[in-house]
Every structure is written in C-alpha cells, then in structure tokens.
Amino acid sequence: MKNKLDESLKLIAKTSFVVLIGIIISKLSLYIYRVIIARYYGPEVYGLFSLALMILNLFVAISALGLSEGILRYVPLYRSKSDFSKIKKLFKITNYISLFSSIFFAVILFFSAKFISVNIFHNQDLTIFIKIAGLILPFYVLSGLYLSLIRAFEMINLYSFLINIFQNVLKVVALGIFIWLGLNSSWIMVSFFIGILLMFIFVYYFCKTKIKEIFKLRKESKERNENEFLKPLFFYSLPLMFSGVFSIVYYWIDSFAIGYLKQVIDVGFYNAVVPIALLITIIPDLFIQLFYPLITKEYAKKNFKLIEELSKQVVKWIFVISLPLFLLIILFPGVVINFLFGPDYLIAEHALQILSAGAFISILTGILTTLLSMVGKSKTIFLNLVLTSILNIVLNFLLIPKYGITGAALATSIVWVALIIILFIEVKLTLSFIPLRRKLIRVALISIIPLAILMIIRSFIKITLLSSFLSGVLIILIYFILIFITGCLDKNDWMIIKSFKNKLSSIKIS
C-alpha cells in the first residue's frame, strides 16, 4: 500500500503542477476578460453579461442531464476492467441524448429571451445577450461531454489546456478584436461564443483521432442486458442533473436576487468581487481534476485505506497553500478590487471580505463531494444542494433588501459554511473517516505569526499597490519558512518535495 500511495501522490502532485500552470493562465485570461468588460463597458453592461452567463449556465445544467458526470464515473470503472465495448456504447448513447437535449433547450432559451429580460430583470438590453447564449448552449453541453471523456482517460494535461487556457485566451482575443473594431456591447457574448465553439471543434477532433476504439463505426449486436447497462448510468446521472441545476442556483442565486430586487448595476458590482473571492478555490482545483478518477479506480479495487490516506494528504496540501492567499485578500480587499476592476467597484469591499471568509471555510467542499460521488451518493449530493439552495434563496431575499450586495455576500457565506459541516458529517458516516490531519491545527496556529506581522506593517505604512505587494511577498515567505521549520511537513510531503527537486535538477543538467 505504501508504494501505491507514493505513486499516487506523485502522480497527483505532478499533474497538479501542470494544472497549476493551466489555471494560472486560465485565471489570468479570465480576469483580463472580465476586467476588460467591467472597465471598458462599465458596471451595468458587466451586470448584463453576468446575468446572461447565469442563465446560460442554468440551461446548460438542465440540458446536460448530468451525463458528463456519468461518463466521469463509469468510464474509469469500465477501464479498470478493460471493457471498452461498454465505454463505446456508453459514450455513443450519451452523445446522442446530449445533442437532442441541448438543441431543444437552446430553442426554448432563444425564444424566451425577451420575456426573461423584461418580466424578470426589467431590462430590455438583456435580450440580445440571452439570445446569443441560446446559440452557445449546444456547443457548451457537447464540449462538457467530450471533456469528461478526456478526463476519464486521465489526459489531465490536455483537459487543463482546453478548459483553462484554450477557450479563455480565445475569448480575450476575440473581445479585443471586437473592441478594436468599435463594435457594441452585444458582441461580448459573441466573443464568449467563439471561445466555446472553437474548444468544441478541437476537443471533438482530438477524441475522434486519439480515442479511436470508442468511435469505430462497426455495428455491434444488441445485448440483451442493455437496459441493465443503461439503468445505472441514468440512476446516477439524473440526480446529478438536478444537482447541477441546484449548483447553479447555489452559486448564482445571489446575482439573480440582486438583479430582481435591486438593479443591473448592483449585479455588476457584486460580480466584480465574486471571482476575486473564488481565487481561494483555485487550490482545490489543482488536485480534484485527477483526484476523482484516481480514487474511483481504487474504490473499484476496494483499496479503502489508500483512498483515506490520499484524501488526508490532498486536504492538507489544499489547506496549507490556500491559507496565505485568504489572509492577503481579506486584509487588502480594496487594493485587490482597485487593481483589477478600478475605483468604481470599491463599493463592494465589505462584500469581498465576507465572501472570502466563506470561500476559505468551504475550500474542502470539492474533495468531500468527490468522496461521496466515488461511492455513488449522487442522491445525497443532490439533497445537500436542494437544502442549501433553499436556504440561500431565503437568506438572499431576507438580507438583500436591507443590506444590498453585502447582504448577498453574507447569505452566500452562511450557506457555504452550512454545506461544509453537512459534508464532513456525511463523509464520516459513509466512509468512517474524516480527511483531516492533526497537523492542520499547527498550520493554523503558525499562520497567526505572519498575520500579526502583517497587521503591524499595515499600521505603520500607507496602503498602496506596491506596499501591499511587498508586504504580501514578505508574509508568504515567513509563512512557508515557518511551515518548514516547525515540523508541519510529514514524510509524504518531503517525498513530493524531493521528487520535484530531482526533476528540477535533471532539467538543469540537460
């Protein structure tokens, strides 16, 4: 088990490093994209774009039917048994269903654009944004299906490139060209369309040429137990479709409520700080993309102890790396907002602090949900999202009328904290372990030292972009030095560090 654990941790760490590069480029291009829209077109247009994106994601979640998650679960299971005929049949039927479903809902979205814009959000200008979103929908859904196939075959580097770099860079380039040509704000959604369309074309071509055994066109005899083969897929996937819908509600209800109860410009202010707070969740993304197919294969082999050790180690890495980022955002919210979106958005400073606190507490949501998905608890995941989404709706409609975007941030953060508590309880009851190491307490206590130093520095110097950057670099250095010298790292951590060191040394020599 020890050798298998070392091998798995090295694979996760190696892949996470590649994914990190992809995510850095992704977030950079994504923020450039959002910043261009927010600064060039202003808060109101940025609010229109955010609402259109929310509606698009909701329709994607409905029309996808949860089938991409079904692919992600069942393809690794069939691969572990080398049953490629089932993989082929599985992907073929999900492909056809996704195609027809996405076109059907795209038509509905396109022709209901005016009704949604005028009757729900009271803004006629939103109509063209939603209509273009309807055109995007089929390509978005099918891209998700093909990307899940790539991920299920553990081609994480390619997956990271396509989802993190390729589409986002294309959107930025297209938007820049449209602005240079002097086109109006509706072309923002066209730039988004271009990124999704070209990503779909690329991922389709790759799957067709590189995973050939799934796309061979020879006829196969119909198996008598075909219904038995499909039933587990749909029993697993359909609850995840509803989970996907409630995920959109869960993450977007605050924007919806602000747009409904307040004004579109307030949606723009709020959606300037949401992606900043979610920077904290970058760290879990580094590991989850490979973590799920990896533990799913081990679960099929009944390697439960290995799954526990992998989970605890990955959780520790997430916590250690995320903590300093959280401290910097919550202590310098105005600096971050001003740097990215400009002084017009500083009204959302307190909302950013509240969201950042909630985001940090909830950083393990993805890992815990992945563990429940591994054992097929899709109904439990769905129930979690239903309950927390209802709570989110109630809190938003109670707090936004009185506190505006700060109330929306408070509502969302309360829900994030509630969900993480529920997930810890469920994982403990289901798998009989909690994926936490005792050394996390030591890490948390150590963080008080750089935090205190940062507070002292703030009281003596003027807060500017340069002083904040230099203070941040200093604090991060102190934090990681303390991590190294106080025994927070265990043998697995040192094994990974040594592996990276050897890798870097070999690069230098060559």
Determine contact, residues 327/451, Cβ cutoff 8 Å: yes
| Angle in degrees, 0-180, between the axes of helices 264-277 and 405-431, rounded to the nearest 10 | 40
* Residue with the larger pLDDT of the pair 201 and 76: 201
Lowest mean pLDDT segment, chosen from 8-22, 31-45, 185-199, 281-295: 8-22
Residue 211 DSSP class: S
Region 335-361: mean pLDDT is: 88
Digit-coded pLDDT (tens) for 114-169: 999 988 888 888 999 999 999 999 999 998 888 888 877 767 677 777 877 788 88
Pair of tokens at residue 216? 């061979």
pLDDT greater than 80 at residue 408: yes
Pair of tokens at residue 501? 């060191």
Q: How far apart are CA 496 and CA 10, in angstroms?
A: 6
Region 92-114: mean pLDDT is: 89
Model confidence at 192, in pLDDT bands (50, 70, 90)? very high
pLDDT greater than 80 at residue 79: no
Residue 166's CB is within 10 A of a number of other CB atoms, namely 21
Lowest mean pLDDT segment, chosen from 126-140, 268-282, 402-416: 268-282
Domain ranges of the chain: 2-217+225-437, 438-503
Residue 119's CB is within 10 A of a number of other CB atoms, namely 9
pLDDT of residue 421: 93
Region 429-457: mean pLDDT is: 80
Residue 348 DSSP class: G
Q: How far apart are CA 375 and CA 429, in angstroms?
A: 12
pLDDT of residue 106: 94
Q: How far apart are CA 365 and CA 251, in angstroms?
A: 13
pLDDT of residue 496: 55
Region 314-333: mean pLDDT is: 84
| Angle in degrees, 0-180, between the axes of helices 304-331 and 365-374, rounded to the nearest 10 | 160
Nearest residue to 32 via CA among 136, 142, 174, 197: 174
Determine contact, residues 206/150, Cβ cutoff 8 Å: yes
Query: What is the pLDDT of the chain when averaged over all its residues?
Result: 79
pLDDT greater than 90 at residue 21: no
Supply the DSSP string of 25-63, one letter for each residue: HHHHHHHHHHHHIIIII-HHHHHHHHHHHHHHHHHHHHH
Tokens 């500083």, residue? 346
Q: How far apart are CA 134 and CA 56, in angstroms?
A: 7
13-17, 111-115, 144-148, 454-458: which is most confident: 111-115
Residue 223 DSSP class: P
pLDDT greater than 80 at residue 33: yes
